[in-house]
Chain A
Amino acid sequence: MKHIKNNMVPAVILVLGILSFKLSGVSGSYLAAEVYTRFIRNILFTLALILPITCGMGINFAIVVGAISAQMAMVLSVDFMLEGIPALLFVTGASVVFSVIFGSMVAALLNRARGKEMIVSIMIGQLSSVIYQFVFMVAYGMLFEPKNKEILLERGIGVRSMVDAKNISGVFKSILPFQFDGKTYTLFPLILIALFTLLLFYIQKTKFGVLARAVGTDMAVAGKLGIESNRVRSICIILSTVFAAMSQILFVADFGTINVYTGHLGLDTFAAAAILVGGASIRKVKMRNCFVGVILFHALFITSPMAGQNLFHNPSVGEYFRSFLAYGVIVIAIIMNLKTEQAKAV
């Protein structure tokens, strides 16, 4: 009984998912292939949310900043006309550097906004996203000249909204390809994901992991015992940003094109919804919540428009349903958490 109660959210979503799958009438292999694609594109974003939740900052909607770091690195790599392995190394290195720098800025801001971290992280995400758009739309071509003129719009100012990322996606596609359902997929991202998962698992077992958990449990007590909470929180946010950057690389490498202005939008909400669907709360999370959540959420995400089409002859019904689900699950998670917290605090 307790088991079911604790896993209420995933259980409900699972039922919905099965219903939606039946109604949509798609084949199992189609669904599997689609879920695989979405899994490798999104799982790291969701994993990136773990550390901030552990250290008590709630859901870090500013993972957008990590995605932006990676987008910048990738556009630069195309601009520098890098190809193959060097391109991949450059992209990885540069996005780590960017995301550490930007991540520490985000952390500094969030540490000033204790108790309001989530909404502040949303605003940080929005602000950095427009500043980034500004840089690539206005400064590029106006303030500095790209090497590779092809990435510019015809007017000579601003990067095109779509930039081909075959320099890195080519590398990905060439490693361990396999055939499924008539299409070619590759195993390489899965290996990278496994590596990052292990890394995160390891971090949780380190001294730092214990401190993060302690800070998340009770910041006042942590202060009494001489733990530097702000530092621990900063590192959590930086690591989260780096994870998000890596995830964006995986996403683009799989997708094949950089959506310069929109590629980083919305992923924070989907990651948040996925982790909550997986049974996490905004204070407590396990890694399995991410895996369960991403698979369930995206399975529902893929099938619901078709289910809507079949049921109401209107695909948008399914779309509305899934966006309601994404936001609604966040509202419910926040309400439930804050209520239990208030009950405890009294």
Chain B
Amino acid sequence: MLEVRNLSKNFDGNYVLRGIHLKIDDGKVYGLIGANGSGKSTFMNILNGNDVIVRSGGYEGSVCIDGEEIKIGNHSQSAAHGIAMVHQELALFYGMTVTENIKINHENVKFTGGPFTEFACVDRKKNREDAVAALERIGSELNPDQVVDRLSLNQKQFVELARELDNRRVRLLMLDEPTSSLNITETRGLLKCIREIADSGISVLFVSHRLEEIMEVCDTVSVLRDGELISTYEKSEFDIRRFADDMVGKEIVKAKKEKKHEDGPVVFQYKKIQSKGGDLDIKKGEIFGITGLAGQGQDQLLDGLFDLKDGGCQAFYKDCELRKGDNQALIKNGIYYLSEDRAGTSLFLESPIWKNMIFGTEERHPEFLHLKSCPALSFLNKKVISAHVEKMIETLNIVCRGPEQKVRELSGGNQQKVCVGRALTFRPELLFISEPTRGIDVYSKELILKWILKMNQEYGTTIVVASGELEELLRICDRIAVMYQGQAFKIFEGNSGLEELTLALYGREVS
């Protein structure tokens, strides 16, 4: 039996988990749900003794097994206490066999002798027997000598499960989104297997975005929101609506975009992205929201289009097909993308603010260059640039010492303002923004949302916003598409309810 008392965790003073109390009984399946960033992963990482937790200063509060407090300083300690975890991204060694993967780092060896144990020959026969036994426990009949590369996804997951269960002392098994990439039959198999594991006396902590699974397999469910434990339900009290309410919270919805945009001509089209093979049209002058749970295909729409990620989509701008990877053409057409990975794709952290703000906009602003006839070899017109950047700093209220300050030294909110400043400098016809308010303070959030609206209303920029912040989307968007399993599940007009939207995230409609 595992009990967690008053567990908290902060990263540089920023609390991501606060005062969590919970108790998992032997042989029970405990579900944990919550929106992205609500603290589920951090919670599991703490119990698993992950590097990230240890390096960022450990956790506060206590973890007890059978009433005795234990210290989790690294992964080996947590393993020694019988805590095991199956990761969302599979942790398998490709090119090695099923047996090797199951027995890795606790192989049977022919002799033991202190430091020389490592150099003892591996007992392959015994390893194989163990692997078969562990696989049998979860009802799998995989060939233990097979190399894992060719296995199907759920077979790989079984290998992971078997590896964790092979540790005979395992008391608690944590599963992080184990079904996210499985199809229905595979999911069935896995859920059945989880139930069997629990029945054999092991506690299971189950994290999933799919509420039906949670309802089906769990005995108890807790909801996390913004690092706090909001509510806990027993099986008899399960209700999908209450889950959704608890995950979102009842916030006061602030003022919405005032004037709804009337239908304009279609400027941009995603082909075959709607359910039933329809196209997703974006109309001139609107603000279009895209949302969805992590990994439901919204990345493809933005990152894919700009070749930041593999995969992608067929897209048309003003009836011209856009070739993937041809960012030059996108920029020429005035299509601009501000991605959520600010440090990775939208900022030069070691460079001054002015360079971040004007980079790549020279073609639209010849006044930034001295020698307009030969832009490539022209010096920059520092005077014009400084004037422009200082104006931007003032209008966007960026807290800094001046245009020469390095962007690294700014806070997250101010960094995002620099990005917005660059977008304003560029003044695109069509602007894509991903997670514009992630990781920034409340005040800057409002300012950035205000500027998005302003760009749309005053400059007539068509804007596509991808975000997980439903409430913000409802405030600024004319229409919102909810992505589910790679398709636009439903498109809402901006005045829909939050609850309706939340359920759509999980592929459900209000009945």
A and B touch in the complex (CB under 8 A): yes
A residues sitting closer than 8 Å to B (CB atoms) are 202-203, 205-211, 213-214, 217-218, 221-227, 346
**14 pairs from A and B in contact (CB 8 Å cutoff):** A206-B109, A206-B118, A206-B122, A207-B120, A208-B118, A208-B119, A214-B104, A214-B105, A217-B96, A223-B51, A224-B91, A225-B75, A225-B104, A346-B310
* Residue numbers in B under 8 Å from A214 (CB-CB): 93, 96, 100, 104-105
Once bound together, how far apart are the Cα atoms of A224 and B94, in whole Å?
Answer: 15
Q: Let me know if B196 is at the binding interface, CB within 8 A.
A: no
Q: Let me know if B76 is at the binding interface, CB within 8 A.
A: yes
* Residue numbers in A under 8 Å from B105 (CB-CB): 211, 214, 225-227
Q: Is the beta-carbon distance between A205 and B122 smaller than 8 angstroms?
A: yes
Given A211-B105, A213-B96 in contact, is the A206-B91 Cβ separation under 8 Å?
Answer: no
Q: Is the beta-carbon distance between A217 and B93 smaller than 8 angstroms?
A: yes
Once bound together, how far apart are the Cα atoms of A188 and B117, in whole Å?
Answer: 32
Once bound together, how far apart are the Cα atoms of A218 and B89, in whole Å?
Answer: 13
Residue in chain B with minimal CB distance to A232: B118
* Residue numbers in B under 8 Å from A222 (CB-CB): 93
Once bound together, how far apart are the Cα atoms of A203 and B121, in whole Å?
Answer: 8
User: 6 tightest CB-CB pairs across the interface, nearest first?
Assistant: A226-B75, A208-B118, A217-B93, A221-B91, A224-B91, A207-B107
B residues sitting closer than 8 Å to A (CB atoms) are 51, 74-76, 79, 87, 91-96, 100, 104-105, 107, 109, 117-122, 310
Residue in chain A with minimal CB distance to B90: A221
Once bound together, how far apart are the Cα atoms of A133 and B76, in whole Å?
Answer: 45
Once bound together, how far apart are the Cα atoms of A222 and B109, in whole Å?
Answer: 20
Once bound together, how far apart are the Cα atoms of A95 and B189, in whole Å?
Answer: 58
Among B51, B76, B92, B93, find the residue whose CB has the most chain A CB atoms closer than 10 A.
B93
Residue in chain A with minimal CB distance to B75: A226
Q: Is the beta-carbon distance between A206 and B121 smaller than 8 angstroms?
A: yes
B42 CB → nearest A CB, Å: 16
Q: Is the beta-carbon distance between B118 and A207 smaller than 8 angstroms?
A: yes
Given A224-B87, A346-B310 in contact, is the A206-B119 Cβ separation under 8 Å?
Answer: yes
Besides A210-B107, A221-B93, A226-B76, 15 more A-B contacts (Cβ < 8 Å) are: A205-B122, A206-B121, A207-B122, A208-B119, A209-B122, A210-B104, A211-B104, A213-B93, A213-B96, A217-B93, A217-B96, A221-B92, A222-B93, A226-B74, A346-B310
User: Total number of A-B contacts with CB less than 8 angstroms?
Assistant: 60
* Residue numbers in A under 8 Å from B87 (CB-CB): 224
* Residue numbers in B under 8 Å from A213 (CB-CB): 93, 96
* Residue numbers in B under 8 Å from A211 (CB-CB): 104-105, 118
Among B79, B87, B100, B105, find the residue whose CB has the most chain A CB atoms closer than 10 A.
B105
Once bound together, how far apart are the Cα atoms of A202 and B119, in whole Å?
Answer: 9
Taking a contact as CB atoms closer than 8 A, the residue among A210, A221, A227 that contacts B100 in the complex is: A210
Q: Is the beta-carbon distance between A205 and B93 smaller than 8 angstroms?
A: no
Once bound together, how far apart are the Cα atoms of A206 and B117, in whole Å?
Answer: 9
* Residue numbers in A under 8 Å from B100 (CB-CB): 210, 214
Residue in chain A with minimal CB distance to B85: A224
B312 CB → nearest A CB, Å: 12
* Residue numbers in A under 8 Å from B121 (CB-CB): 202, 205-206
* Residue numbers in B under 8 Å from A227 (CB-CB): 104-105
A208 CB → nearest B CB, Å: 4
* Residue numbers in A under 8 Å from B96 (CB-CB): 213-214, 217
Taking a contact as CB atoms closer than 8 A, the residue among B93, B104, B119 that contacts A203 in the complex is: B119
Taking a contact as CB atoms closer than 8 A, the residue among A206, A209, A217, A346 that contacts B95 in the complex is: A217
* Residue numbers in B under 8 Å from A221 (CB-CB): 91-93
Q: Is the beta-carbon distance between A207 and B109 smaller than 8 angstroms?
A: yes
Once bound together, how far apart are the Cα atoms of A11 and B37, in whole Å?
Answer: 55
Q: Is the beta-carbon distance between B93 and A207 smaller than 8 angstroms?
A: no
* Residue numbers in A under 8 Å from B122 (CB-CB): 205-207, 209-210
B154 CB → nearest A CB, Å: 19
Residue in chain B with minimal CB distance to A344: B94
Once bound together, how far apart are the Cα atoms of A59 and B118, in whole Å?
Answer: 24
Taking a contact as CB atoms closer than 8 A, the residue among B91, B109, B310 that contacts A225 in the complex is: B91
Once bound together, how far apart are the Cα atoms of A219 and B105, in whole Å?
Answer: 14
Q: Is the beta-carbon distance between A218 and B94 smaller than 8 angstroms?
A: yes
* Residue numbers in B under 8 Å from A205 (CB-CB): 121-122
* Residue numbers in B under 8 Å from A225 (CB-CB): 75, 91, 104-105
Given A217-B96, A218-B93 in contact, is the A206-B120 Cβ separation under 8 Å?
Answer: yes
Once bound together, how far apart are the Cα atoms of A221 and B95, in whole Å?
Answer: 13
Residue in chain B with minimal CB distance to A231: B118
* Residue numbers in A under 8 Å from B51 (CB-CB): 223
Once bound together, how far apart are the Cα atoms of A28 and B132, in whole Å?
Answer: 54
* Residue numbers in B under 8 Å from A208 (CB-CB): 118-119
B229 CB → nearest A CB, Å: 26
Once bound together, how far apart are the Cα atoms of A208 and B122, in whole Å?
Answer: 9
Once bound together, how far apart are the Cα atoms of A225 and B107, in whole Å?
Answer: 13
* Residue numbers in A under 8 Å from B120 (CB-CB): 206-207
* Residue numbers in B under 8 Å from A207 (CB-CB): 107, 109, 117-120, 122
Residue in chain B with minimal CB distance to A226: B75
A7 CB → nearest B CB, Å: 19
Residue in chain A with minimal CB distance to B164: A225
Once bound together, how far apart are the Cα atoms of A209 and B120, in whole Å?
Answer: 10
Once bound together, how far apart are the Cα atoms of A202 and B116, in whole Å?
Answer: 14
* Residue numbers in B under 8 Å from A206 (CB-CB): 109, 118-122
Among A202, A214, A346, find the residue whose CB has the most chain B CB atoms closer than 10 A.
A214
Once bound together, how far apart are the Cα atoms of A205 and B110, in whole Å?
Answer: 11
Once bound together, how far apart are the Cα atoms of A206 and B79, in whole Å?
Answer: 23
Once bound together, how far apart are the Cα atoms of A224 and B53, in whole Å?
Answer: 13
Among B51, B95, B107, find the residue whose CB has the most chain A CB atoms closer than 10 A.
B95
Once bound together, how far apart are the Cα atoms of A227 and B95, in whole Å?
Answer: 18
Once bound together, how far apart are the Cα atoms of A206 and B95, in whole Å?
Answer: 17
Once bound together, how far apart are the Cα atoms of A67 and B120, in whole Å?
Answer: 28
